[in-house]
Amino acid sequence: MPAGGPYTIAMNSGSLSQTLNNVLFGDVIVCAGGRNVDYQTQFVNGADYYLNQAGNFANVRLFHSGSYTIWAESSTYFASQFAAVCWLTAVKAYNQTQIPIGLIQISTYETRLEQWAPASSVADCLGYYYYDSFSIYNYFIAPILRHRISSVIWYQGEENWGRTGLYECQLPSLIRSWRRDWGYNDSSLPWLLVQLQGYGSIRNGVSSQRWAQKLAADNVPNVSIFTSADLSDGSSPYSSDRPRNKLPLVDRLTTGLLSLLYGQNLVTSGASVSGYQVTMTPLTSFYASLIITVDFTSDATASGLTISPVQPCDPAFNAYSCGVPFEISLEYTTGAPSQWIPVGSYSLVNGQLILNTTVPAKTVFQAWRYAWSDVPRMVLYNGAGLPTLPYISNFPSAIAKSGYYVIEFIDIVGAGIGPVVPGNWQGGALTLVNPSGRGDPAWAYQAGPNSFGTLAHPTGLFLTANGDCNGVTLLPESGQSNQNWAMIYTGLEDNKYMFYNKLCGWTALNNFCNYGSTISLQADGFSVTNCNVWVANYVMSL
């Protein structure tokens, strides 16, 4: 049937008959995710104008998986309590196409992606298992798989931050599994992905989560990303990770929907980085000039690219959360640890971005990044008013490579993994120790072909979980089976990992944040704590 309506459908079978009234033919869009899909239209800044007209959009129908038992016509009452990003996007799209839209809202506050995935997709990501996996999928998604849908708006990720190494695999796996279960191939069913807004975390964990979302958009066909990174709202009474200023995001999603679903030739994204060149010129014996020339993909997204003024940091956030627009990473030839420093000046010249700063002479350039903070300072916008996404030139691998590492507790410099009794390594319980006078030991990590590996100590012993998986000791390799470890990048700045043991059901190497507290294996809890995230600084290859 062509899009339109309302129609009446009459069904007859012998002496039985039934009539369905006020039926529309059009597109059904699933809006799924966490707290920002759950965020209602009535709380959005500037939404009153649209809510007052809600009754004019009877051809935008609403179904809330947790509240309604029927499709509801748009009205001020129903629209005010519906997913804001979903309803407002549909209304703006309908205004241009006049094609009826049915919206299915599936939102559950504070949920991790694993809960949205079918059981068949979990094994796609190293067999990782979460204690509440599949719950939302089984309850909300599976029952509507026979309902034909046209696209998905996905807005989730806050509860997965700190596990970026897993998320960058899990999100593409989720997209592919939903497409498969709905009967689509991997290049169909348009997927509109919202990149996380600005809010505070620890150690730029939100920035890495945004990058994992970008990787999904880059690597999975027919997925487009629409950032809300520049739409922070630290004073939101509903928490800083639920901003009220959603209308700019709605405009971006509307443009994406009109392009992806309805074939309109529109610019839907900001300019993207295509490459860069680095020039370092000595100035004195102590300083050098470092210039990075950044190129952008030559298409409509780069048209009208400008640099906007840096917006002041929201007083609800600290300066560290806001960061600076551009930074570079330098490694010192003297052996001092590498660090990120702000870029001195930046400008656009003939469509290229020029980053110019003065650096110490005895340094080597490592990387550069843009808008890499919890509340990013975004300054690059194209002629369509769309921002360039946060960028980093050397994002760490999700899975650690083989080599020697110095493993330390994330919050206490110099505190590492050691024995309860110094010198008593074999069979002894491991703990968090102050290695004063002994130095941090280097641990050898040998990654296997399946990304799981063994973690060994220079004494020749191997990190091993005991039989009930509640303790960790060092034992000889012979007869030990619980040596299957994965070092997975957390996304919390540089060289920070969680250590998972596969054979213990994906439990994480943990400590209760105290010297002398035994290192054990704990279930991967709902929140990332400092106790199961370790600094694992790469020292050398095996």
Within 84-200, residue ranges assigned H as helices are 84-97, 119-122, 135-136, 164-181
226 and 157 within one domain: yes
Pairing of strands 101-107, 60-64: parallel
Cis check: omega of the bond before 309, within 30 degrees of 0 = no
CATH number at residue 308: 2.60.40
243 and 220 within one domain: yes
Q: Is residue 373 part of a domain?
A: yes
277 and 258 within one domain: no
Give pLDDT tens digits for 282-302.
Answer: 999 999 999 999 999 999 999
Q: How many domains does the chain have?
A: 2
Question: How many angstroms from the chain centroid is the CA of residue 467?
Answer: 35
Task: Spell out the residues 6+ positions from residue 172 whose beta carbon is closer than 8 angstroms to its own.
Answer: 215, 216, 219, 220
24 and 148 within one domain: yes
Task: Spell out the residues 6+ positions from residue 472 whose beta carbon is closer than 8 angstroms to its own.
Answer: 429, 430, 463, 464, 465, 466, 509, 519, 520, 521
Q: Is residue 409 part of a domain?
A: no
Cis check: omega of the bond before 6, within 30 degrees of 0 = yes
Both tokens of 373, joined, read: 């903070």
Sole residue written with tokens 């002398």 = 516
284 and 242 within one domain: no
Query: So what's the pLDDT on residue 408?
Result: 83
Q: Which domain holds residue 376?
A: 273-388
Residue type, 103: L
CATH number at residue 103: 3.40.50.1110
Give pLDDT tens digits for 348-400.
Answer: 999 999 999 999 998 999 999 999 999 999 999 999 999 999 999 999 999 99
Q: List, in sequence order, every residue forming a beta bridge with 19; answer none if it has no partner.
A: 10
Query: So what's the pLDDT on residue 462?
Result: 92
C-beta separation of 100 from 59 below 8 A: yes
Q: Among 262, 287, 302, identify where a domain stops.
A: 262
115 and 20 within one domain: yes
Q: Is residue 530 part of a domain?
A: no
**Burial of residue 413 (number of CB atoms within 10 Å: 0-12, 13-18, 19+):** exposed
Q: 219 by DSSP, 3-state: which?
A: helix
Q: Is residue 425 part of a domain?
A: no
**Binned average pLDDT, 10 residues per bin, the chain of 542 residues:** 94 96 97 95 96 96 84 95 97 97 93 89 76 87 94 95 92 95 95 95 88 96 97 91 95 98 97 98 96 97 97 87 94 82 96 97 94 95 98 94 87 74 79 65 87 89 88 86 91 88 87 81 76 86 89
Rounded to 5°, the CA angle 241-225-261 comes to 120
Query: So what's the pLDDT on residue 161?
Result: 87
The DSSP string of 457-489 is -TTS-EEEE-TTSS-EEEE-STT-----EEEEE
179 and 283 within one domain: no
99 and 172 within one domain: yes
Both tokens of 48, joined, read: 């009153």
Q: Is residue 156 part of a domain?
A: yes
Query: So what's the pLDDT on residue 15?
Result: 96
327 and 197 within one domain: no
Query: So what's the pLDDT on residue 274?
Result: 98
255 and 293 within one domain: no
In whole angstroms, give the CA distance from residue 21 to residue 212: 45
354 and 288 within one domain: yes
335 and 195 within one domain: no
Neighbours of 433 (CB within 10 A): 20
Both tokens of 154, joined, read: 């996905």
C-beta separation of 209 from 9 below 8 A: no
Q: Is residue 114 part of a domain?
A: yes
In whole angstroms, give the CA distance from residue 249 to residue 232: 11
Q: Among 388, 407, 433, identify where a domain stops.
A: 388
Cα dist. 6→55, 58, 402 in Å? 15, 10, 63
Q: Among 262, 289, 322, identify where a domain stops.
A: 262
Residue type, 19: T
